[in-house]
Amino acid sequence: MRAIAWLDVLPTQGALTGLPADALAGVLHEVGTAIDAMGDHFTPRPTTVAVSAVRTDRSAS
């Protein structure tokens, strides 16, 4: 994946969605610099994490 494609997707992921514009710009700059250092191309290796919980009402017991 080329840097420009990844930088288009990155702001829609996880904690980055809540960052103020100036902080997001800083993150994108640093990520772009890191990808450029790898030759402007990398292969993302996605990981999925699932979390499950059971809600209990302890006040009824």
Look at residue 61 and tell me whether its pLDDT is greater than 70. no
Overall pTM surpassing 0.75 (yes/no) = no
Look at residue 2 and tell me whether its pLDDT is greater than 60. yes
Angle (nearest 5°) at CA 31 between 45 and 13: 60
What length does the chain have? 61
What pLDDT shows up at residue 47? 87
- Measured distance between the N- and C-terminal CA atoms of the chain, rounded to whole angstroms: 54
| pLDDT tens sequence across 26-35 | 999 999 999 9
Residues 6+ apart with CB under 8 A from 11: 17, 24, 28
